[in-house]
Amino acid sequence: MERKFNKQQKQHVRTGDTVEVIAGNAKGKRGVISEVITSKQRVVVDGVNMMKKHVKPSAQSPQGEIREFAGSIHISNVMLVDPATGKPTRTGRKENDKGKLQRFSKETGKFI
């Protein structure tokens, strides 16, 4: 069910984060997030949920081709990998010394 108001929720991951898939067919795989689709609460992770698309012949490719690309998965099925320890971790938000909210690892307590 889609949201009826325009306020976007804060997500626990961002583009460029290294994540580990914690549920589904690709459980245990790691990759970098290339796109976050906030309206649908989905993310595109490089190398995970690979799909194929058949493309008709055209002037650029007279033979036609089969393109392979990464499909999206739900944001709840990924967990951020802590850069310090290399393990998946839960995240929270707290103020840093400058008074700005910043993500931190709940296991180590260090800022990410």
Instruction: Please report whether residue 2 resides in a domain.
Output: no
My answer on whether 49 and 68 are in the same domain is: yes
Residues 77 and 108 in one domain: no
Residue 95 located in a structural domain = yes
Whether residues 27 and 77 share a domain: the answer is yes
Instruction: Return the SS3 of 81.
Output: strand
Q: 61-73 burial, b if ≥16 CB within 10 A, otherwise e?
A: eeeeeeeeebebb
Predicted pLDDT of residue 7: 67
> What's the CATH code of the domain at 74?
2.30.30.30
Closest to 71 measured CA to CA, from 41, 52, 50, 53: 50
Q: Which domain holds residue 94?
A: 83-112
59 and 89 share a domain? no
Given a cut of 80, is residue 40 above it in pLDDT?
yes
The 8-class DSSP code of residue 111 comes to B
> Which tokens is 44 given?
């595109």
Is the predicted pLDDT of residue 49 greater than 70, yes or no?
yes
pLDDT score of 10? 79
What does the pLDDT average to over 94-106? Answer: 92
- What pLDDT score was predicted for residue 11? 87
> Same structural domain for residues 53 and 103?
no
Q: Is the pLDDT of residue 1 over 60?
A: no
Co-location of 89 and 72 in the same domain? no
Whether 20 is in a domain gets the answer yes
Residues 76 and 87 in one domain: no
Q: What is the pLDDT of residues 55-91, one digit of tens each?
A: 999 999 999 999 999 999 999 999 999 998 999 999 9
Rg (CA), the chain: 18
Residues 96 and 58 in one domain: no
Closest residue by Cα to residue 42 from 19, 65, 67, 68: 19
Residue predicted with more confidence, 103 or 3: 103
**52 and 65 assigned to the same domain:** yes
The token duo for 43 is: 């993310």
DSSP 42: E
Instruction: Please count the structural domains in the chain.
Output: 2
Q: Over the stretch 3-37, which tens digit does the pLDDT of each residue have?
A: 666 666 778 999 999 999 999 999 999 999 999 99
Is 1 among the domain residues?
no
User: Which of 91, 107, 71, 88 lies closest to 20 in space, CA to CA?
Assistant: 88
Coil vs helix vs strand at 76: helix
